[in-house]
Chain A
């Protein structure tokens, strides 16, 4: 068995093992752990788009919301029919949840495809704005669809999210992104980032690479949204606004664009930071934004990017 697959298997087993002991973990720490896991999935998937492929997307929260609504709709509207009156066994619920998350992820990747095909012709600032605009449009649409709760959002989503599911999806996201980028095919993502014109000159279809990155990134954002919805049990359109997108972007930048380990560390740090800084909560965002500015001036390659010598950044 190739080594990454082995790691995935080990990670899944570890997730299962940890979930076995989850009863004994303090519920507060468990909640924080789940929050960290969801943020890791979001950051790692955005890293594929922003870091490895070099396309600046500011709409990750939009894809997350599509996934959250998709998954919640499946378990709210289809769930009772599939599981029957008694709510089904644990295994049935698990399969149901897996289906819901997949549906959410697929819905998000469809949205990613729909946004990606027209807008990936644009570069830099403009792409950032179109993805931002898309995120806002998604929010306004969700606010206006009565079927999905309108501005009040969806309530009473079953609490299926457990530490097992979160860790399993973290493992899956890291596995997919790492294997994809290190494959022969995946070198194209890095080439697209490094020099688009040169990549096209050697015959790479850069637009296709961008769209693939966008769709895969959106899938995991959607799955993370599904996990989030079934964790908080309630979702509102305003929960997935511009600020959420920025938060994910900051994780990717802090970790060093195109550096999965760094991004994971940054996601952990930035999820723990608000918990630690709770006593000075009102200054949290000021520290956050100052960090961003100082980082860009002093260490544009990211806080956790320890590549010495030759740098791969532009």
Chain B
């Protein structure tokens, strides 16, 4: 039983990270209806900003860790907005495939520029947050897991507030429902889309730092697998649906951790894709999504 709880806890903390990345996918899909393949590489850039910042602040302090987190989030939101402005905005209204290919191009550009500028060899992520292990009735809880869960929970609450309680959040929902109608009532779509990219990229950066805290080996290709899995999480929960992305992330992280602890551990990476295929075939709208009738 305690082993089960331990695995559940590990799964939830991994799932929380997937959920953070998945939110970025889901929000961009919500306003632009395309898969931002480069999102997983913004996650990687976030981890690297954290790596370089981590050297400037004192190690093992809560405020040092928070500074690293905030700087990485700000840095990545700028990068996200720049990517949107330079690569995606010229293609507004172009065929889906062209946008998809551009997104793949941006993703490869970030990965390979990372290999040139950061070097391809894995680096050890500094311990920016103090690391302690608590024992709670047979359960071992690391402080990093606590950090992951607390930061994720705070960011999600913050996101809910932004999306449902602020003017820009209302504009985001309007653009996602009907871009043309939103424009007619005076919403500046470009600003909203730019903001969405910034917000999503900041969450990806937070995910990158939290991932690097728990798996402290970072390299320019580190984003590929977590990125793909987070996308699966977004589809699982219902793409375009914010609570769905959170739910999908937690579910996927938990399932993956349990598979990893079982005798089929070598199939760990295949599980996410198997889930993706099953979901798309039987419930393409995802767990929380509403099935819509496609108009011709």
A91-99, A138-146, A178-186, A221-229: which lies at the interface: A138-146
Q: A286-B112, A289-B109 are in contact. Are A124 and B97 (CB under 8 A)?
A: yes
Majority DSSP secondary structure for residues of B touching A: helix
Q: Which of A169-195 contact B (CB under 8 A)?
A: none
Contacts of A290 in B (CB 8 A): 105, 109
> B95, B99, B224: which has the most chain A beta carbons within 10 Å?
B95
**Count the A residues whose beta carbon is within 8 Å of the partner chain — how many?**
40
Q: A119-B281, A122-B284, A297-B91 are in contact. Are A129 and B108 (CB under 8 A)?
A: no
Task: Judge if A296 is at the interface, Cβ distance under 8 Å.
Answer: yes
Chain A, Cβ-Cβ closest to B275 = A133
**Nearest CB in chain B: distance from A279 CB, A:** 15
Chain B, Cβ-Cβ closest to A286 = B112
Q: A128-B100, A143-B266 are in contact. Are A133 and B276 (CB under 8 A)?
A: yes
- In the complex, are the beta carbons of B94 and A300 less than 8 A apart? yes
Please encode chain B, from 142 to 183, with 1 for each CB lying within 8 Å of some chain A CB and 0 for all others: 000000000000000000000000000000000000000000
- Bound: A249/B102 CA distance, A: 12
- In the complex, are the beta carbons of A124 and B96 less than 8 A apart? yes
Task: Judge if B34 is at the interface, Cβ distance under 8 Å.
Answer: yes
Contacts of A141 in B (CB 8 A): 270
Please encode chain B, from 278 to 289, with 1 for each CB lying within 8 Å of some chain A CB and 0 for all others: 001100100000
Contacts of A20 in B (CB 8 A): none
- In the complex, are the beta carbons of B116 and A283 less than 8 A apart? yes
**Nearest CB in chain B: distance from A47 CB, A:** 14
Contacts of A90 in B (CB 8 A): none
- In the complex, are the beta carbons of A293 and B109 less than 8 A apart? yes
- In the complex, are the beta carbons of B100 and A292 less than 8 A apart? no
- Bound: A125/B284 CA distance, A: 12
Chain A, Cβ-Cβ closest to B225 = A136
Contacts of B113 in A (CB 8 A): 286
- Bound: A17/B80 CA distance, A: 55
Contacts of B100 in A (CB 8 A): 56, 124-125, 128
Contact of A289 among B94, B108, B272 (CB under 8 A): B108
Q: Which of A11-41 contact B (CB under 8 A)?
A: none
Please encode chain B, from 246 to 289, with 1 for each CB lying within 8 Å of some chain A CB and 0 for all others: 00000000000000000000110110111011001100100000
- Bound: A136/B225 CA distance, A: 10
Task: Judge if A137 is at the interface, Cβ distance under 8 Å.
Answer: yes
- In the complex, are the beta carbons of A285 and B112 less than 8 A apart? yes
- Bound: A118/B277 CA distance, A: 9
Task: Judge if A253 is at the interface, Cβ distance under 8 Å.
Answer: yes
Task: Judge if B188 is at the interface, Cβ distance under 8 Å.
Answer: no
Chain A, Cβ-Cβ closest to B86 = A293
**Nearest CB in chain B: distance from A150 CB, A:** 9
- Bound: A134/B267 CA distance, A: 13
Please encode chain B, from 73 to 112, with 1 for each CB lying within 8 Å of some chain A CB and 0 for all others: 0000000000000010011001111111110111111011
- In the complex, are the beta carbons of A140 and B270 less than 8 A apart? yes
Task: Judge if A314 is at the interface, Cβ distance under 8 Å.
Answer: yes
Contact of B105 among A242, A293, A314 (CB under 8 A): A293
- In the complex, are the beta carbons of A289 and B105 less than 8 A apart? yes
- In the complex, are the beta carbons of B105 and A130 less than 8 A apart? no
Majority DSSP secondary structure for residues of A touching B: helix
Contacts of B296 in A (CB 8 A): 197
**Nearest CB in chain A: distance from B112 CB, A:** 4
- Bound: A297/B269 CA distance, A: 34
**Count the B residues whose beta carbon is within 8 Å of the partner chain — how many?**
43
Task: Judge if B139 is at the interface, Cβ distance under 8 Å.
Answer: no
Please encode chain B, from 49 to 60, with 1 for each CB lying within 8 Å of some chain A CB and 0 for all others: 000000000000
**Nearest CB in chain B: distance from A259 CB, A:** 15
**Nearest CB in chain A: distance from B146 CB, A:** 32
- In the complex, are the beta carbons of A296 and B34 less than 8 A apart? no
Contacts of A7 in B (CB 8 A): none
Contacts of B269 in A (CB 8 A): 136, 140
- In the complex, are the beta carbons of B95 and A300 less than 8 A apart? yes
**Nearest CB in chain B: distance from A140 CB, A:** 4
- Bound: A297/B95 CA distance, A: 11
Contacts of B270 in A (CB 8 A): 136-137, 140-141
Task: Judge if A246 is at the interface, Cβ distance under 8 Å.
Answer: yes
Chain A, Cβ-Cβ closest to B89 = A297
Q: Which of A219-263 contact B (CB under 8 A)?
A: 242, 246, 249, 253
- In the complex, are the beta carbons of B276 and A293 less than 8 A apart? no
- Bound: A290/B112 CA distance, A: 11
**Nearest CB in chain B: distance from A196 CB, A:** 10
Task: Judge if A85 is at the interface, Cβ distance under 8 Å.
Answer: no
> A129, A134, A314: which has the most chain B beta carbons within 10 Å?
A129
Contacts of A133 in B (CB 8 A): 232, 272-274, 276-277
Task: Judge if B35 is at the interface, Cβ distance under 8 Å.
Answer: yes
- Bound: A227/B219 CA distance, A: 33
Task: Judge if B197 is at the interface, Cβ distance under 8 Å.
Answer: no
Task: Judge if B115 is at the interface, Cβ distance under 8 Å.
Answer: yes
CB<8 Å pairs between A and B, sample of 23: A119-B277, A119-B280, A128-B35, A130-B280, A132-B273, A133-B273, A134-B273, A136-B269, A136-B273, A137-B273, A143-B266, A144-B266, A197-B296, A249-B104, A283-B116, A286-B109, A286-B113, A288-B108, A289-B105, A290-B105, A292-B102, A297-B90, A297-B102
**9 A-B pairs with least C-beta separation:** A133-B273, A292-B105, A289-B108, A285-B112, A289-B109, A140-B270, A293-B105, A296-B102, A124-B96
Besides A126-B280, A133-B276, A136-B228, 4 new A-B residue pairs in contact (Cβ under 8 A), listed by A number: A122-B280, A285-B112, A289-B107, A293-B106
